[in-house]
Amino acid sequence: MDKGRTEIAELGEFGLIDRLTKDFPVRNAGTVKAAGDDAAVIDAGDRYMLFSSDLMLEGVDFDLVYFPLKHLGYKAVVRGIGDILAMNGLPEQLTVSIGVSAKLSVEDLDELYAGIRGACEDYRVDLVGGDTTASVNGLVIGISVVGFVAKDMITYRSGAKVNDLVCITGDLGAAYMGLHLLEREKRAFAGNDNPQPQFEGYEYILRRQLKPVAPIDAVHSLHSAGIVPTSMIDITDGLASDVLQICKSSDCGVRLYLERIPIARETHRMAEELKADPVVAALNGGDDHELLFTVPVTRQGEIAKIGGIDIIGHITSPLAGARLVTPDGGEISVTAPGFRDR
């Protein structure tokens, strides 16, 4: 009997993940948290071990026309360790698996791994293994990261409470604008054997796209201040999508204040050139690799003392929904591509 066909777009990315993983019961006592958060949580005695995996595909996640292999290797590591940071943990080991097409040389792979090595040095992570295979359709990079966190400091997406403050590290939308700048220059110089792209004045948004920085300093600062967030998530799919993940997991609503969302000057300028909305870039652009987290309102003074963290809203009851408050007091419902709440 034909059961019909369901298109992936009908479920959205996160609905698809929920559907594929819902029939996998936890069988081992050491599995504390399986699918459904930034990383899996495994009981490792006096600490929790955190495990995450990430996949990057040429033509989907990166374009080798303008993405230097050294930067790509660095970014792949940053993407992987961001999931560990989002559980309030710190990364320690990683494995790298690659699928390699014939167009890449050994020297190209040396460049890729030089970037991986640089990130391992910067974030004090050990490369402990991986795999290499052939690929027909371009370069594939798989990163798996192991980290650890004290049991009383573990942070999930599901702990946000009404009146908690919504906080964010860094600024948003720059990586998305950097990608659009790169794509614009690629189109402008198509077929040119000696292209001279115009990047002057946009170094920041390019760096945010090509060589992002993981917010590990913010996690260290939270640890030093004795602040354990009530919920946290790695912002890779855009602020809107990721705050909705917290709302879904914590069964809550949220009020975000548009004028408090940090957006860099270069992001505004690039958006103006492209006749785009920088707020849309911040809400839905993705690839920012920052942390979105919540803390009790009683910790507001301590959060304010930590540099590089902005308070952009607060948690509300689930009946209030997810709302974006504009400077004139108007409210807009927060929605995100690829996200279906139910």
Residue pLDDT, tens place only, 44-56:
999 999 999 999 9
User: Which of these ranges, 20-34, 120-134, 151-165, has the smallest mean pLDDT?
Assistant: 20-34
pLDDT of residue 192: 65
pLDDT of residue 194: 64
* Residues 171-181 pLDDT 10s: 999 999 999 99
Classify domain 165-333 at the CATH topology level. Phosphoribosyl-aminoimidazole Synthetase; Chain A, domain 2 (3.90.650)
* Residues 66-77 pLDDT 10s: 999 999 999 999
Is the CB of residue 323 less than 8 Å from the CB of residue 252? no
Distances (CA, A) of 53 to 49, 83, 183, 229: 14, 8, 27, 23
Task: Express as a percent the part of the chain with pLDDT over 70.
Answer: 95
Distances (CA, A) of 44 to 16, 203, 250: 30, 43, 26
Distances (CA, A) of 2 to 5, 6, 40, 274, 298: 9, 12, 36, 47, 56
pLDDT band at 342 (very low <50, low <70, confident <90, very high): very low
Task: Express as a percent the part of the chain with pLDDT over 90.
Answer: 80
2 pLDDT higher than 70: no
130 pLDDT higher than 90: yes
pLDDT of residue 253: 98
Place of tokens 């860094």: 170
**259: phi then psi, degrees, rounded to nearest 5:** -70, -10
191 pLDDT higher than 90: no
pLDDT of residue 122: 98
pLDDT of residue 35: 77
- In the beta sheet, which residues pair with residue 50? 41, 147
Average pLDDT over residues 202-230: 97
Reduce the DSSP state of residue 277 to 3 states and report it: coil
Is the CB of residue 128 less than 8 Å from the CB of residue 64? no
Average pLDDT over residues 146-157: 98
pLDDT band at 3 (very low <50, low <70, confident <90, very high): low
Sheet with 126-134: strands ordered across: 31-33, 40-43, 47-57, 140-150, 90-100, 126-134
User: Which of these ranges, 162-166, 332-336, 338-342, has the smallest mean pLDDT?
Assistant: 338-342
Strands 47-57 vs 309-316: parallel, antiparallel or unpaired = unpaired
- d(CA 294, CA 172) in angstroms, rounded, equals 17
Domain ranges (residues) in the chain: 8-153, 165-333
Reduce the DSSP state of residue 10 to 3 states and report it: helix
Integer distance in angstroms from the first to the last C-alpha of the chain? 27
pLDDT band at 197 (very low <50, low <70, confident <90, very high): low
- d(CA 39, CA 157) in angstroms, rounded, equals 10
Classify domain 8-153 at the CATH topology level. 60s Ribosomal Protein L30; Chain: A; (3.30.1330)
pLDDT of residue 73: 98
Instruction: Tell me, rounded to whole angstroms, the distance of Cα 130 from its chain centroid.
Output: 22
Tokens of 178: 């950097």
pLDDT band at 1 (very low <50, low <70, confident <90, very high): very low
pLDDT of residue 77: 98
Average pLDDT over residues 98-119: 97
Domains 8-153 and 165-333 share a fold: no
- Sign of CA pseudo-dihedral 299, 51, 205, 118: positive
* Residues 270-305 pLDDT 10s: 999 999 999 999 999 989 999 999 999 999 999 999
pLDDT band at 249 (very low <50, low <70, confident <90, very high): very high
Is the CB of residue 24 less than 8 Å from the CB of residue 34? yes
Mean pLDDT computed over every residue of the chain: 92
Average pLDDT over residues 319-332: 95
